[in-house]
Amino acid sequence: MKFFVDTADVAAIAELNDLGMVDGVTTNPSLILKSGRDIIEVTREICGIVSGPVSAEVVSLKAEDMIAEGRKLAEIAQNIAVKVPLTWDGLKTCKVLTGEGFMVNVTLCFSTNQALLAAKAGATFISPFIGRLDDINLDGLELISDIRQVYDNYGFDTQILAASIRTANHVTQCALIGADVITAPPAVIKGLASHVLTEKGLDQFMQDWAKTGQKII
């Protein structure tokens, strides 16, 4: 399973990339706002750090405007994936841009039928939002499982990019279900290394080592 990092924080991306933990990056208007930087400038810098897909999102609502914005964003670098919302105009945009050879990430997916439409429109990635479904007492992981089954049933090439990842359990279950990609904030990815028994064991080792009075260097 590939790991995308969901941020526009260049320093955080570089740190994870140096460890081999980044296969791509996803951004959105909220993350661009948080970065405090120009979208073209920061996206270009991110594309220079990672070799995998970097999602940059359009901000218009009409297909003709989305298409124009998508073409502009795709000029930034060859690894740009144009991010479009799962609306009818977004699907129209997806069809046009994929036809022109660009990667397209269809975002804000909340149903299997939406995912099916995106695949038929040629989406490179579909982004179902797990955490936001959990917020309204629906099972976000069940949606990932359903999309996986439908895509496998019909041989769709669209990759399932599980988004709105908030917990280590989300990551584990997505891997077990067979999501192609997860995208998560840096803190969630780094948190995967934590376990209470690891910390407890390390603390015991350090106490015992101190009692030996030895040094390695």
> Positive or negative, the Cα torsion across 137, 139, 140, 146?
negative
CA distance 4 to 181: 7
Give the pLDDT confidence of 13-24 residue by residue, as tens digits. Answer: 999 999 999 999
Active site residues: 83
Interval 83-118: pLDDT, tens: 999 999 999 999 999 999 999 999 999 999 999 999
Mean pLDDT of 46-54: 97
As a whole number, mean pLDDT of residues 30-58 equals 97
Stretch 61-82: mean pLDDT, rounded? 98
**DSSP symbol at 179:** -
Q: Map out the domains of the chain with their CATH numbers.
A: 2-212 (3.20.20.70)
Give the whole-number percent of the chain exceeding pLDDT 70: 100
Our measurement of the distance from residue 183's CA atom to the centroid of its chain's CA atoms, rounded to an integer in Å, reads: 3
Summarize the confidence of residues 63-70 as an average pLDDT.
98
Q: What is the pLDDT of residue 139?
A: 97
pLDDT one-digit tens code per residue, 120-151: 999 999 999 999 999 999 999 999 999 999 99
- In 54-171 the beta strands, taken as DSSP E runs, fall at 54-57, 80-85, 103-109, 125-128, 159-162
Mean pLDDT of 33-39: 96
User: Which pLDDT value is given to residue 167?
Assistant: 95
Per-residue b or e along 36-59, where b marks 16 or more CB atoms closer than 10 Å to that residue's CB: eeebeebbbebbeebebbbbbbbe
Predicted TM-score of the model (pTM): 0.95
Which of 73, 33, 37 is CA-nearest to residue 54? 73
Tokens of 186: 């840096």
